[in-house]
């Protein structure tokens, strides 16, 4: 991953999750800092991967790509959110995340 990060928070300006919550822990800037430090934390699943954060980014980092790779590492380390495991099992069994037979 590129070693260029920003403290400007411009990535946050377009993020729908940050705009709705105003919580720094779900802001793209926070995700970038976690990725920079190599911290694979389930909080990285709070991103919707909509791509809005890339509109004005000055980092040159493809945040979506980096988050997807981090999520894979989190799952491989067994650190994903427990509900996600349940959803995956339900999907495999029934074809939907609710576990309801169609």
pLDDT, tens digit (0-9, with 9 covering 90-100), for 32-61: 899 889 888 888 888 999 988 887 666 678
- What pLDDT was estimated at residue 71? 87
Q: Which residue matches tokens 């099992």?
A: 89
3-state secondary structure the chain: CCCCCCCCCHHHHHCHHHHHHCCHHHCHHHHHHHHHCCCCCHHHHHCCCCCHHHCCCCCCCCHHHHHHHHHHHHHHCCCCCHHHHHHHHHHHHHCCCCCCCC
- What pLDDT was estimated at residue 84? 81
């Amino acid at each position: 991953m590129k070693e260029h990060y920003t403290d400007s928070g411009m990535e946050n300006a377009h993020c729908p999750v940050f705009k709705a919550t105003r919580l720094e822990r779900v802001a793209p800037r926070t995700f970038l800092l976690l990725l920079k430090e190599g911290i694979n934390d389930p909080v990285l699943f709070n991103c919707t991967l909509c791509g809005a954060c890339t509109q004005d980014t000055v980092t040159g980092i493809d945040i979506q790509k980096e988050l997807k790779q981090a999520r894979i590492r989190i799952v491989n380390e067994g650190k994903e959110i427990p509900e996600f495991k349940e959803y995956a099992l339900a999907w495999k069994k029934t074809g939907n995340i609710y576990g309801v037979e169609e």
